[in-house]
Amino acid sequence: MTVGLLGSALRIVAVLFGLATGSAVQSGTVHRGLRTHAPAPAWTSDTYSVLLPGHTRGAEAARSRHLLQGGNGCEKLVPMTLLLRWLTQSQFAGYFAAREMGFFAEQCLDVTILDGGGIFGGINITAASADFGIPWFLQFLELIDGGSDYIHVAQIFQRPAWRYFGMPVPGTMDPNAVTKNTVKNFGDMKNGVRFGIPRPYIETPLKSLLLKYGKTFCGATDWRTDSFTNCTGDEDIEFVVYGYNVTNIGTMEIPFFQGMMYNELGRLLLTTDDRGNFKYTINTPGAPENVAVYSAYEIDDLLLPEDGLMIHHELTRDAESRNLIVRFLTAAYKGWIHCRDNEHACVSIIAPNFGNTKQQIEHTLQTWQMREVNRAMWPARVGVGIHNLTESLKAAEIGREIGSLVNFDGNITSDRMSSIITEAFTLEAHYGLVAQGLDIHGAEWINKTGIRFCLSAEGVPTECASAAEQSSTRLALMIGIPVSVVSALLLALAWHTYRLRRKLRELQEDPTVTSLDLEAPITKVRNVLKKVISIEGDRVTPELTQELRDLMAALQKSHDMNMPDLQRQLLKIDTNVYSSDLALFLVETTMQGDVSTHGGALRHASNNALGRSPSNSFTSASRMLLCMHSEADEHKPNAPAPKREMQDMYNFILSVHPEADDMLHEIGISPSMDMLTFSSLGNSQLLITVTFHIFRTVHDLVLPLRLDDYKLMNFLKALEAGMHGPKLHNMRHAADTMSRVSAMLKMGGLYQQATQSMKRQLAAALIASIVPDYKHPGRTNVFHVKRASAAALSFNEQHVNENNSLYACLNVLRDPKCNFIEAWSEEEQREFKSTLIELVLGSDTDSHFELLTRFQMRVNTETEGYGGILASRFFGSCDRRTRLLVLQLAIVCGLHGDAVLPFEVHKKWVQLKQDEYFEQGDEEHALGLPISGLMDRSRPGVADPKTQVGWLDIIVIPIFQQFCNVFIDCHDLLQQCQENRALWEQEQANGFVGKAQFSPGLFMGLEGILRSDESRSQTPSVLSGSASDHVQSRQNSCSMHHPTRFPGTV
């Protein structure tokens, strides 16, 4: 946040100075010469191969690229014509901006823009001899249904602006009806309620709503019979024509009316009474003058895409014509981006403010309209102009329901849709825009609100002073930022940093934090050495002398300098504070305790052969996997990837439920994103949706890194197919982890000024965050070792699940259809795989405390001089190994990130974990194996409050403390952990969940595990006799035993 404030301030200055750039280009006389009436070519995947990144071939492709790069050096301007769907207004400002700012001329185009000239004029491009038209999507489908040969090339509006509104009409409608919830959606329209429409014909959205709720009506032409319906008094709705004049709505006492957010509502809000005051307002439910806004998109599930762009099929006849389309879209999108970032400049193009009252009012209206149009366009989830397949298919279904589509197949599929719409031109335009450094997503627009109206001293409606003051501030910034402003900003940042540091220190000094000593010996060495270095003269205090003695004793007893000595502490654990089940779990999964299957002495067979240091375990496993894949890569076929078919271009389009649209913008940005709720909204491709949103919108990685989105989609589909088994480790958990990792990295500002190498590392980290859930069997590594499973044997009992997931994931990446980094050099691909392997292996709980120690020793030490606020600058300048440590800890934080969610959501995740653990305990019991800690269904599990207190104290809070030490803006996450811990303690005190009862037998087994590290003598078994016999018989017949494989085992 701190770094973000500073970055935002600098970006504002840059943008404001950029406002002065650009020159207006006078459009010359247009000569028709582009379109012919020759038959259009057949529609095939080859038609667009020249447009797709990485698929251009030969001289024709070179010529096409040259045309795209022609710019101001072009010999002549090619004439093209755009037909608007209505009169000139801010609804089409992007196209006018592209013409006036010279963006069309940059692409060697001379574009004429024609007014629609009447109702829905923008769809009759044949009669107007126009190249481009602007239909609503269902209108486009109706043209196709009627035999027209058009192609839909772009979906400009990403969300609908059509609404219906509730008017505060005295005597007709209770002005507080919204507050009383008498009309929640269109289904509540009844008893002959009067409903305003602009003309006596029912438009498509209303047709759909009438059929959806089975409403009867009168006062308009019934589209099914093509006859006017007179009123008898028994209808649910009486339509009243207000004739596009919103002032009639109030005088005619119409309780409800339809209109556009950017047009009719704006005009209504500008109306004043006899005293010169505004007659209406919005967003104040219960007020006598309030207008209620009903979004059919949200409350009635009405999915009807609005303004798009269509062309004649014949314009796709050759490469040059196709590139004309790309050039038109490139310039048009640039115009829309300009209007997004410079609203007032674009409004002045549409409605110059010359001073008279009428022009001032029109300028104010167009300012309102520009904001609402921008809100309909931005944020663009996967980039400006991209279609949403779900909405497209829904529009076709609505067309069939209302009878406007009669020739479409009974089952409208994505294959059928892909034959009439395309993303190819938009994708090629995206590459050019990104290369110019333009933002094609506009993610920051999620928080934009509508324009507020005020009355000037002359009584003329205008934009409120707050926006005007912002304009003055922009002008001042363009002239020069006063030194006082800069000083104030620096003081504010310094104060903000101080407050964060103080808050973080308070959180870390919380007396509720565990009393266990989690410092590794090497950390103690560092701390003592720092004290010794700071001593002046020969003044060695008794306290320091004693600390040195304690350090010497700790070093003598330590088995690993990077691991805290928890064994003896767990022997003396206070079971009134932490459960003995948790102690057993910690010994089995995170420490040097034995994990064999006999007599409770559970020990890694290869612990001495492969230590946990990064130079042994991680690196050895990394080399093994890289060798396995490098050998396979040598035999990779050289055959080209299959041609992209049109339906494949839809594979990366996100299908998002309307209610999830707002939640989507939290993904990858908010660490407290509720993925469980988001996943419950019916998205069948959750991981694909989340990944593409993060890769394209949040971090903008796809185009700059030349990632093949088609192959990335295939890669994610393959991973999704292997994430449907366990209760916890599944697609939801993977999506949740990636979202939180992305949010934490963005929160720290770590990739604000990333190099290409850093971006590749970020891409590897994001993929690494989801890999552990791929092919995860819902069993811990300890289970595989105890059972001597095939996976445990294959990977030498080291990071069993992680190695198995990695091996399976890298096999998917080897598939030519899934290798989304194929455009990279061999060195870049190898670096990506190496990073992926190290990050995934580092997420193993077995390496938890070692990772904490290495992070503290390397990262915390190196950032001490940066004061937290400039930690992102440190991140950009540090070496690869240090960055990997930061990314490893971020991934571990993401994996345990449910602890930073609101308590009720956090509890849901904990319950899922407990369900999965109990299933493992059931299997262990059935196999006669000792039941692992926290997995015995007959005892309180991981959802027990006492266990959760210990889990947060020992596992979770320390990792967030370390991360927040470096990136202090995340202190809110640490605070939420502490709050959740307090709530678990409260539930324990209230007896909400049964307390774990101390079990002498269990603790004897725990003690045996711990002491076995010092003594090889057999400890008392915690197994029953039959179970012990079963284990012994398994060991005696190991050469005959063939363990059952789990999915993904090699």
Report the binding-site residues for Zn(2+): 733, 773
Contacts of 168 (CB under 8 A, 6+ apart): 175, 280, 287, 288, 289, 290, 291
Burial class (CB in 10 A: 0-12, 13-18, 19+), 408: middle
Report CA Rg, the chain: 33
Give dist(CA 169, CA 252) in Å, integer. 9
* CA end-to-end span of the chain: 45
Q: Is 729 a catalytic residue?
A: yes
Residue reference for tokens 């700790």: 554
Contact 689, 664 (CB under 8 A): yes
Contacts of 449 (CB under 8 A, 6+ apart): none
Cross-strand partners of 679:
none
Most distant CA pair in the chain: distance in Å? Answer: 105
Give dist(CA 661, CA 388) in Å, integer. 12
Among 144, 137, 194, smallest CA distance to 171 is for: 194
φ, ψ for residue 357, nearest 5 deg = -60, -45
Contact 693, 667 (CB under 8 A): yes
Q: Which two tokens stand for residue 182?
A: 């008498």
State how beta strands 227-228 and 221-222 pair.
Answer: antiparallel
Beta strands in 896-1042 (DSSP E): none
Q: Which two tokens stand for residue 1006?
A: 């725990």
Burial class (CB in 10 A: 0-12, 13-18, 19+), 341: middle
Amino acid at 758: M
CA distances in angstroms from 50 to 55, 318, 319, 326, 860, listed in the order given? 6, 10, 7, 11, 50
Cis peptide before 614 (omega within 30 of 0): no
**Sign of the CA dihedral running 448, 449, 451, 455:** negative
At residue 78, the 3 state secondary structure works out as: strand
Binding-site members are 733, 773
Q: Which two tokens stand for residue 825?
A: 């050099």
Give dist(CA 818, CA 642) in Å, integer. 11
Give dist(CA 302, CA 206) in Å, integer. 10
Q: Which two tokens stand for residue 567?
A: 């064994």
Contact 205, 162 (CB under 8 A): yes
Contact 138, 116 (CB under 8 A): no
Q: Which two tokens stand for residue 868?
A: 């937290």
φ, ψ for residue 193, nearest 5 deg = -60, 135
Contacts of 355 (CB under 8 A, 6+ apart): none
φ, ψ for residue 191, nearest 5 deg = 60, 40
Among 747, 795, 743, 741, smallest CA distance to 767 is for: 741
Give dist(CA 117, CA 122) in Å, integer. 9
Give dist(CA 144, CA 380) in Å, integer. 26
Catalytic one among 344, 604, 693, 729? 729
**Sign of the CA dihedral running 1037, 1039, 1042, 1048:** positive
Give dist(CA 253, CA 230) in Å, integer. 20
CB atoms within 10 A of CB 601: 22
92, 96, 101, 106 alpha-carbon torsion, rounded to 10°? 100
At residue 595, the 3 state secondary structure works out as: strand
901, 905, 909, 914 alpha-carbon torsion, rounded to 10°? 120
Residues designated as active site:
729
